[in-house]
Amino acid sequence: MIGMTESIGNEFLPNENKVYKADLHIHSCLSPCADLTMVPSTVCTKDIDILAITDHNTAENVAAFVCLCRDKVVIPGIEIHTFEDVHILGYFSTLSDVMEVSKIVSENTNPFPYDPETFGYQLLLNESEDFIGMLDNYLGFPTNLSIDQTIDLIEKHNGLAVFAHADRKFGVIYQLGMLPKNAHFVEVRKRETWQELKSTGHIVLTSSDAHVPGEIGSRKIFFQNDAFSGKIDAHSVISAVALGRFRTIWD
């Protein structure tokens, strides 16, 4: 559930005539499969107003984006790889909530001796955008958390859980052939899935899952200024998503 905890930085007052563009699935240079140029000075020059940083099984780079993308609303996020091989996104109002989840995810990951030359670099950023190290634990494998445990973990930390790219590889429909009964929030790749899930009352998102700068904003959602009550910050964006108060690229 969405908590009422304080939101972090990067907040704005709604502008009456503006439509806000949001891409809520972006990987940083910490994801082994993402480009090394996925850093704030590149990501935050893109034509979107709201973005979520969602690295695989970690949120260690979120703080750098919150700190350096001052003219965007940055949603602290994570993309958790469950043991069923399903990706689930978690969106949080605060850095402390996402970091707590990130820590628990890391404790539920099997150590894997990993060669960055083969598997891709996992680069940690500080708040001046310097590379300050690499994560040793490979982020591209499933955790020991099940789908239910992952959703529970996200919700216990006041987050919103969204099934990522449900209709392609590592998406729940693709992997398991169906959507779990308790699934409310789903990100899709295909228009047909969007149509089908809308008709069954789901809240359906379209985001880019960008791993390189050119993909940022290629899929997005749109908020009208009245989707937000008062200021626009991570908390109000997540609340608007939870209520389905947005349009997709297909609406």
Q: Which residues bind Zn ion (CB under 5 A)?
A: 79, 87, 164, 170, 209
Q: Give the shortest CB-26-to-Zn ion separation in angstroms.
A: 8
Q: Give the shortest CB-11-to-Zn ion separation in angstroms.
A: 25
Q: What is the 3-state secondary structure (H, E, C) of 61-127?
A: CHHHHHHHCCCCEEEEEEEEECCCCCEEEEECCCHHHHHHHHHHHHHCCCCCCCCHHHHCCCEEECC
Q: Which is nearer to Zn ion, 25 or 202 (CB)?
A: 25
Separation in Å, CA 130 to CA 51, 60, 64, 176: 21, 14, 10, 40
Q: Would you state the structure tokens that stand for residue 240, as one six-digit string?
A: 């608007």
Q: Give the shortest CB-169-to-Zn ion separation in angstroms.
A: 8
In this structure, the strands spanning 131-134 and 123-125 are: antiparallel
Nearest to 167 by CA among 192, 149, 201: 192
Question: How many CA atoms are closer than 13 Å to the CA of 110, on its beta-carbon side?
Answer: 8
In this structure, the strands spanning 203-205 and 185-187 are: parallel
Q: Give the shortest CB-2-to-Zn ion separation in angstroms.
A: 22
Q: Give the shortest CB-164-to-Zn ion separation in angstroms.
A: 5
Distance CA 219, CA 83 (A): 27
Q: Give the shortest CB-208-to-Zn ion separation in angstroms.
A: 9
Q: Which is nearer to Zn ion, 170 or 185 (CB)?
A: 170
Specify which residues 105 forms β-bridges with.
none
Q: Which residue is nearest to Zn ion (CB)?
A: 87
